[in-house]
Structure 1
Amino acid sequence: PVLFATGSKDGIIEGSKALAAATPQGRFVEIPDRHHFNAPGSRAFREAALAFLAE
């Protein structure tokens, strides 16, 4: 399984969606109102990552 988490304000969001779709067991999560550098610091990112790791 692979998690692609990308901020909604990030220029690579469409590429991340495509990678998730093309990756076996790939999952895409959009982090609202974030970009590449500040997405990992958000609560939404932490919650998505923890849920993904718990599976």
Structure 2
Amino acid sequence: MIDPDPSDAPTRPILFATGSKDAIIEGSRALAAAAPDGRFFEIPNRNHFNAPGSRDFKDAAV
């Protein structure tokens, strides 16, 4: 698997939502900052596997 490259970030509006306990959180922050219309949301007390089921994530996505 290739790591995401912030210099090749998406150009469309995108939400980068990552659990606060996820090892990739700093990479997600970097991608959100690099994307012209990116937004970062930290999902409290979640990891890589249980983040998608979070109510906070669902609210941020809507």
TM-score, reference length from structure 1: 0.88
SS of the residue 2:57 aligns to = helix
Moved over 2 A (4+): none
In structure 2, stretches of 5+ residues that fail to align are 1-12
TM-score, reference length from structure 2: 0.79
Question: What percentage of residue pairs aligned between the two structures are identical?
Answer: 76
In structure 1, stretches of 5+ residues that fail to align are 51-55
Point out the structure with the larger helix share.
1
Aligned residue-pair number: 50
Matched, 1:48 2:43: no
Question: Separation in 1 of the partners of 2:15 and 2:54?
Answer: 16
Q: Which residue of 2 aligns with 1:11?
A: 23
Higher radius of gyration, 1 or 2 = 2
The alpha-carbon deviation at position 37 of structure 1 amounts to 1.0
